[in-house]
Amino acid sequence: MLRRIPYLVVLFMLLLATPSWAQDADGQTPEVEVPGVEVPGAADVEVQVPKVVLNDIGFEVVLVSVGSDTLGADAYSIAGAGSPIPFVWSDEDDAWVAANVIVTGTGAQELTLYRAGELHLVQPVRSIAGWWAIVPPLLAIAVALAFKRVIPALFLGLWFGAFTVAGFSLKGAFMGLLNAFQVYVLAEFTDAGHASIILFTLMIGGMVGIISKNGGMQGVVNHIVKWASNPQRGQLATSALGLAIFFDDYANSLVVGNTMRPVTDKLRISREKLAYIVDSTAAPVACIALVTTWIGYEVGLIGTAIAKVEGLEGSAYAFFLSSIPYSFYPILAIFFVFLTAWSGRDFGPMLQAERRARTTGEVLREGAQVDEAATSKENLPKEGIPHRAVNALIPVAVLIFGVVGGLLATGEGETIQAIINSSDSYTALMWASLLGVFAAVALTSVQRLMSIGDIVEAWYSGLKGMLFAMIILVLAWALSAITEDLHTASYLVSILGEALPAGIVPAVVFLLAAATAFATGSSWGTMGILLPLVIPLAWAVMVLNGEATVGDYHILYSTISCILAGSVWGDHCSPISDTTILSSMASGCDHIDHVRTQLPYAMTVGVVAMVVGTIPAGFGMNPWIAYPIAIGILIAINRFVGRSTESENALAT
Residues 553-587 pLDDT 10s = 888 889 999 999 999 999 899 888 888 888 898 89
Q: What is the pLDDT of residues 412-435, one digit of tens each?
A: 877 776 776 677 777 887 898 899
The confidence band for 407, taking pLDDT boundaries of 50, 70 and 90, is: confident
Residues 52, 113, single domain; the answer is yes
Same domain for 79 and 107?
yes
Is 70 exceeded by the pLDDT of residue 5? no
Per residue, the 3-state secondary structure of 292-328, as one string, reads CHHHHHHHHHHHHHHHCCCCCCCCHHHHHHHHHHHCH
The predicted model gives 120-133 an average pLDDT of 89
Is 603's pLDDT higher than 90?
yes
If DSSP states are collapsed to H, E and C, what string results for 88-116? EEECCCCEEEEEEECCCCCEEEEEEEEEC
> CA–CA separation, 213 vs 454, rounded Å?
9
Q: Give the domain range for residue 103.
A: 37-128
Mean pLDDT across the stretch 61-67?
72
What confidence score (pLDDT) does residue 65 get?
Answer: 66
- Is pLDDT at 69 greater than 60 in this prediction? no
21 plus 147 within the same structural domain? yes
Residue 72 lies in a domain: yes
Give the range with max mean pLDDT: 56-65, 306-315, 527-536.
56-65
What would the mean pLDDT of 280-305 be, rounded to a whole number?
77
Percent of the chain with pLDDT over 90: 28
Out of 103, 128, 153, a domain closes at 128
Quickly count helices (H) and strands (E) in the chain: 29, 12
DSSP 8-state symbol, 381: P
Q: What's the pLDDT score for residue 447?
A: 93
Residue 438 CA to residue 444 CA, distance in Å, equals: 10
Are 393 and 430 in contact by the 8 Å Cβ rule? The answer is: no
- Residue 179 and residue 151 in one domain: yes
> Quick one: 51 and 106 in the same domain?
yes
Report the chain's mean pLDDT, rounded to a whole number.
Answer: 80
Contact 287, 568 (CB under 8 A): yes
Residues 124, 143, single domain; the answer is no
Percentage of residues in the chain with pLDDT exceeding 70? 82
Contacts of 415 (CB under 8 A, 6+ apart): none
CA distance 580 to 584: 6
Question: What is the tens place of the pLDDT at every residue in 183-237?
Answer: 999 998 888 877 887 888 788 888 888 988 888 877 876 777 677 778 999 999 8
The reply to whether 220 falls in a domain is: no
Q: In this structure, are 91 and 162 located in the same domain?
A: no
Structural domains of the chain, count:
2
Dist. CA 39–CA 47, nearest whole Å: 14
Residues with Cβ within 8 Å of 449's Cβ and at least 6 positions away in sequence, in order, are 214, 215, 382, 385, 391
pLDDT reported for residue 95: 78
Cα angle 458-460-465, degrees, rounded to a multiple of 5: 100
Rounded to an integer, the average pLDDT of 634-650 is 81
Please indicate, yes or no, whether residues 49 and 88 belong to a single structural domain of this protein.
yes
Whether residues 113 and 174 fall in one domain: no
Are residue 44 and residue 118 in the same domain, yes or no?
Answer: yes
Contact status, residue 577 vs residue 523, Cβ threshold 8 Å: yes
Is the domain of 173 the same as that of 46?
A: no
Q: Of the residues 128, 150, 165, which one is the last residue of a structural domain?
A: 128
Residue 58 covered by a domain: yes
Return the CATH number at 48: 2.60.40.10
Alpha helices in 447-522 (DSSP H): 452-485, 488-496, 505-520
Q: Tell me: do 113 and 164 sit in the same domain.
A: no
In a domain, 113, yes or no: yes
The pLDDT of residue 148 is: 60
* Residue 145: inside a domain: yes
Q: Is the pLDDT of residue 109 over 50?
A: yes
Question: Does any domain span residue 115?
Answer: yes
Last residue of a domain, one of 81, 106, 128: 128
Q: Is 375 left (phi over 0), alpha (psi -120 to 50) or beta?
A: alpha
Cβ(542)–Cβ(597) below 8 Å: no
- Asked whether residue 256 is domain-assigned, the answer is no
Q: Does residue 121 fall inside a structural domain? A: yes
